[in-house]
Structure 1
Amino acid sequence: MSTAAATAAPFDPTALSDALPLPLYLQLARHLRTLIVEGRLTDQDALPGERELAETFGVSRVTVRKALRELIAEGLLHQRQGAGTFINRSPHVEQRLSTLTSFTEDIGGRGLKPDSRWLSRSAGTATPEEAMALGLRPGAEVVRLHRLRLADGTPLAIELSALPASFLPDPELVQGSLYETLRGRGHPPFRALQRLSAIRLPADQAALLGVPDGAPALYIERRTFLENGTPLEFVRSHYRGDAYDFVVELSLA
């Protein structure tokens, strides 16, 4: 594997300054983060050692160590025992919030290979939260689909979908895209409402997504509706914070 030093990585010592109000370790973390996100440090490249980075930027090894810890926590770097620190640049997806698409459509449309790993799929009585989101009576049946979503083999999101059993009576009917399955059954998704919030991943979800415990993520709740306004789906998703940008177009009223 190449090292960033061997490939003439574009480190810029002038990116750090004592005159700035930001601590030096955060300035260094910001500089390295920019190089990773822009692709100037590529996936699986090894960073130079702490001593070399300290000499390059004119800072202490403690400063370098703290900066690397920041980026490890964000999932942009990972350390291998006895081997060093490596870039972990996952597939990066930009999703526009103005269009209702499935994960499969979204990833496939960007030239990546979408895939899913089933965590569980089941049928049962709707929880109070599910019943409220889907407009169901107490005791109504729902189908739950719990999946790890991947792009080019890299885990990007964890999804838990709940749908009224009247629209999807058997979870085994879903083999690929859920939305394609629903369209094939005559229940095409028409519109959706989403709410996004920033969180830090607990240990179990971080392990599934291949990022450190506490790494940043986006938590999204979505309610999907048929054209007549009937609730069709209630989905709760956790997206890797280093892999997704959500974009919305705004205009003056």
Structure 2
Amino acid sequence: MTQTLPLHRLQTSSGGPLYVKLKRLIEEAVANGQLRHGDALPPERDIADAADISRVTVRKALDHLVEDGLLVRRRGSGTFVAKPVPRMQQPLTRLTSFSEDMRRRGMIAGSHWLERGLHFPTPEETMALGLSSSARVARLIRIRTANDMPIALERTSLPDDLLPDPETVENSLYHLLGQRSIRPVRANQRISAVLLKDDETELLGVSAGSPALSVQRIAYLDTGRVMEVSRALYRHDAYDLVAELTLES
């Protein structure tokens, strides 16, 4: 540990409060390759003993690094150097699919399926999709990835007559529907900031209590019928939503 992190020099070095100096020390170790993606940091107690500082100081430094996305805490395992996450900007002026967004960026979109099948709809799905009492709902729940990195947790519901066999969806839902000339022409989106639940943070590979962007979408066909309702939770450290505004003369 002393070769990777010269903690014994922390007390005598200059540069502000101890937690700031420890934070900078870890940042430099990551920047120069002494600590790499996936490397585990020593336990907080060991860092505190080696640096002759309190565990409160160690926790404060690590908390800041977790917030910055440099470190990630895994429940029951410890604290690790996080994999660098490329930030992506998503314009709000175009109606596109996740796969199309990634393709434009030269990235490979993927899915880790959690659920894919026909179900009896919830009252919310029945109302939002305008379903009859006998209809079922095609429900898709998956982790969306870009170059194998988890980016979003996505839940989508469609009427069963538009998607009678959800198992046929391999990656791009819009591409599959487009082969049957089913394509949304407009959508309403509601964007908000949320805190992820414990199971959601594990699925997205982020620290407990991490924030996310919640994007709720209702997409419509050219007939005015609702095609889908969806909610996607995007990692806060990977996605920026951008809107272009103009001033009316």
TM-score range, shorter chain: 0.7 to 0.9
Structure 1: which amino acid aligns with 2:183? P
1:208 paired residue number: 203
Q: Quick one: distance in 2 between partners of 1:154 and 1:62? A: 32
2:164 paired residue number: 169
Deviation at 1:158, TM superposition (A): 0.9
Deviation track 1:56-75 (CA, whole Å, cap 9, x = no partner) reads: xxx98844531321432564
Aligned partner of 1:69 among 63, 66, 75: 63
1:127 paired residue number: 122
Matched, 1:252 2:247: yes
Structure 2: which amino acid aligns with 1:65? R
Deviation at 1:229, TM superposition (A): 1.7
1:218 paired residue number: 213
Q: Quick one: distance in 1 between partners of 2:190 and 2:112? A: 25
Equivalent residue runs for 1:1-253 within 5 Å: 44=37, 62-63=56-57, 65-72=59-66, 75-78=69-72, 86-253=81-248
| TM-score (normalised: structure 1) | 0.74
- Structure 1 residues 45 and 123 mapped into 2: Cα distance closer, same or farther (>3 Å)? closer
What RMSD, in angstroms, separates the aligned Cα atoms of the two structures?
A: 3.7
Q: Is the 8 A contact 1:95 1:246 kept in 2?
A: yes
- Higher Rg of the two aligned structures: 2
Deviation at 1:144, TM superposition (A): 0.6
Deviation at 1:140, TM superposition (A): 2.4
Deviation at 1:91, TM superposition (A): 3.0
Deviation at 1:85, TM superposition (A): 5.2
- Secondary structure of the residue that 1:116 maps to in structure 2? strand
- The percent identity for this pair of structures is 44
Deviation at 1:83, TM superposition (A): 10
- What number of residue pairs does the alignment pair up? 228
Deviation at 1:130, TM superposition (A): 1.1
| TM-score (normalised: structure 2) | 0.75
Structure 2: which amino acid aligns with 1:167? L
| Structure 1: 5+ residue stretches without partners | 6-12, 19-23
- Secondary structure of the residue that 1:126 maps to in structure 2? coil
| Structure 2: 5+ residue stretches without partners | 7-13
- Secondary structure of the residue that 1:67 maps to in structure 2? helix
Q: Quick one: distance in 1 between partners of 2:179 and 2:200? A: 32
